[in-house]
Structure 1
Amino acid sequence: MPLLGPDDPLPHRPHRVLLAGTSGSGKTTTAARVAELLGAPHVEIDALFHGPGWVPRPGFVDDVHRFSAGPAWVTEWQYDQVLQHLAERADLLVHLDPPRRVVLRQVVRRTLERRLRRQELWNGNVEPPLRTFWTDPEHVVRWAWNTHPRTAARVQALRRDRPDLPVVRLRSRAEVRRWLRGPLARAAG
């Protein structure tokens, strides 16, 4: 199946959708919009993964297997333990692939807003103090910068492994909006 763009029609109405992209690319926001259009549940995978104190939850993999056995869902494609399983169950992958500079701007803005507002994220967690950018090698801003190219490579590998899986590549917020209003809305009926 060829790589689809923001204006290409979808081959079918999707039911199990993955959103791929690095931190700050807009996965969770877009996943919520996709789920709303499709009338499918959005399962925020970060909420399943992160327990209190940012400790991974022991039931994470079981929870992912449980929701992904359902007929319809939308979630973010991340966490090595479940990547393959989710890829096998999905019937559409949306690759959010904005340029690295855009991702960096978005993740910095999001991180600052969350920290300054002390916004609770998942299971009581909040963004760590801003100084941790300098002390934590896996700080979300550093993570987004360092892992940006990995997502494209992961998507390419999936396209080789699952040539039947439709993959939509969107490079900007404008393309996301066009795709949501156009091809996805038409496929959702």
Structure 2
Amino acid sequence: MQRVLVMGSSGSGKSTFARRLSDITGIPTVSIDALFWKPGWVESGKEEFQSRMVEAAKQPRWIMDGNYMTSGAGELRRQLSDTVIWFDLPRSACMFGIFKRIAASYGKVRPEMADGCPEKIDLEFFRYVWTYRQQQRPKLVAYFQGLRPDQTLVCFTDREQADDYLQDLALKRKRTSIH
């Protein structure tokens, strides 16, 4: 595992998972949101974002947290990844996740966001998460169809599976370092 995509709906736990995976593996994280957004929630231009993503994707090791399948070097990232972690959680879990996140960090900039982009209440964002399974999930499934046989796809349907995965990985790493 050297280049890992962590994908799924907002509020599913992607960013937290990516940070924890980085802590265990030592692989640096790349927040796609931090590359896309500019201070004040201003979107990067298409070419600028593409350039930032290509530069990040060409690094030898990364854990990339976020989707942006059709923009931001989506094809290149899929091609270069060796592992894809998919958070395929129910709508209720994702909505709970974003409400919990807003309650905990309202007005503050989360670690995976660009400077100058504090957590806020955004009805359009709520609608995006609410309709994610109908609107975005099919695109993600189609994106995964382009994976090669030598790439690993890991799917979590609840957060406990993700926690178990990280615990198992940490134990394996610990055993390996002892021997």
TM over 0.5: yes
Task: Provide the aligned length of Structure 1 versus Structure 2.
Answer: 167
Distance 1:149 1:29 in 2: 24
Asked whether the equivalents of residues 19 and 27 of structure 1 are also in contact (C-alpha less than 8 Å), the reply is yes
- TM-score w.r.t. the length of structure 2 is 0.82
The answer to whether the aligner puts 1:168 opposite 2:154 as a matched pair is yes
**How far, CA to CA, are the matches of 2:25 and 2:86 in structure 1?**
18
- Matched with 2:139 is 154
> Which residue of the partner structure matches residue 73 of structure 1?
62
Root mean square deviation, CA, Å:
2.1
Q: Is it true that 1:102 corresponds to 2:87 in the alignment?
A: no
Counterpart contact for 1:20–1:151, Cα < 8 Å: no
Aligned residue among 42, 63, 66 for 2:29: 42
Instruction: Say if 1:185 and 1:86 are closer, same or farther in 2 by CA, change over 3 A.
Output: farther
Distance 1:63 1:184, change over 3 A: farther
Aligned ranges 1:1-189 → 2 under 5 Å: 14-58=1-45, 59-79=48-68, 80-82=70-72, 83-115=74-106, 118-121=107-110, 122-128=114-120, 130=121, 132-133=122-123, 138=124, 140-164=125-149, 165-183=151-169, 186=172, 189=176
TM-fit CA distance, 1:187: 6.9
Is the contact between residue 29 and residue 65 of structure 2 (CA under 8 Å) also seen in structure 1? Answer: no
TM-score, normalised relative to structure 1? 0.78
Q: Which runs of 4+ in 1 moved over 4 A?
A: none
Unaligned runs of 5+ in 2: none
Larger RCO: 1 or 2 (CA < 8 Å, sep 6+): 1
Q: Quick one: distance in 2 between partners of 1:185 and 1:110? A: 29
35-44 vs 148-157, which deviates more?
A: 148-157
Q: Secondary structure at the match of 1:161?
A: coil
How far apart, in 2, do the equivalents of 1:31 and 1:161 lie?
A: 22
Distance 1:111 1:142, change over 3 A: farther
1:101-143 Cα distance to aligned partner (Å, 9 max, x none):
111111112123322xx11242212234x4x53xxxx2x2221
Same amino acid, percent of matched pairs: 25
- Structure 1: segments with no counterpart, 5+ residues: 1-13
Aligned with 1:87: secondary structure? Answer: helix
Question: Which structure shows the bigger proportion of residues in strand conformation?
Answer: 2
Which range moves more in the overlay, 16-25 or 99-108? 99-108
Deviation at 1:91, TM superposition (A): 0.5
